[in-house]
């Protein structure tokens, strides 16, 4: 069940179906943003997705999902391949640069919904790729 839920989350991401992603989240989902803060709530996650979709066009591949023997926790490792479409605050100027970076996410699940999403990737590597292209 946990692996299926996480697979649905990634499938929705790759389909650019924000509503399908949001349907998998608990109303009070905790979202730990890479090298950023913590946001709580589905509406804040909705806003985050809209912001990300404005700045980046991304696909996830090489996805490996790992679950704990006890239900309720999962992790995934994957490759993010994308294009930087619109300049984000505090980051280099966007010129349609492509990038490919390794990333990971950690999840908590309760009663069939994702209650926490924590994302990690090497921001410095991403910056180097979009600066050098």
pLDDT value at position 122?
A: 94
Residue 61 has pLDDT above 70, yes or no: yes
| All domains of the chain in start order, with CATH | 2-132 (3.10.450.50)
What average pLDDT is seen over the chain? Answer: 94
Looking at residue 74, what is its pLDDT? Answer: 95
Q: Which of 40, 46, 19 is nearest to 118 (CA)?
A: 40
- Per-residue pLDDT band for 97 (boundaries 50, 70, 90) equals very high
The whole-number average pLDDT for the span 54-76 is 93
- Predicted local distance difference test score (pLDDT) of residue 133: 59
Query: Each residue of 75-88: pLDDT tens digit?
Result: 999 999 999 999 99
| Tens digit of each residue's pLDDT (9 = 90 or more) over 27-44 | 999 999 998 889 999 999
pLDDT value, residue 87 = 94
pLDDT of residue 75: 97
């Amino acid at each position: 069940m946990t692996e299926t839920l996480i697979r649905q989350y990634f499938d929705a991401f790759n389909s650019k179906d924000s509503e399908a992603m949001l349907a998998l989240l608990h109303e009070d989902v905790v979202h730990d943003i890479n090298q950023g803060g913590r946001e709580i709530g589905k509406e804040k996650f909705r806003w985050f997705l809209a912001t990300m979709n404005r700045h980046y066009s991304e696909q996830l591949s090489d996805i490996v999902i790992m679950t704990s023997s006890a239900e309720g926790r999962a992790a995934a490792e994957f490759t993010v391949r994308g294009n930087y479409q619109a300049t984000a605050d505090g980051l280099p100027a966007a010129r349609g640069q492509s990038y490919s970076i390794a990333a990971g996410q950690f999840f908590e699940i309760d009663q069939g919904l994702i209650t926490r999403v924590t994302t990690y990737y090497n921001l410095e590597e991403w910056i180097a790729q979009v600066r050098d292209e």
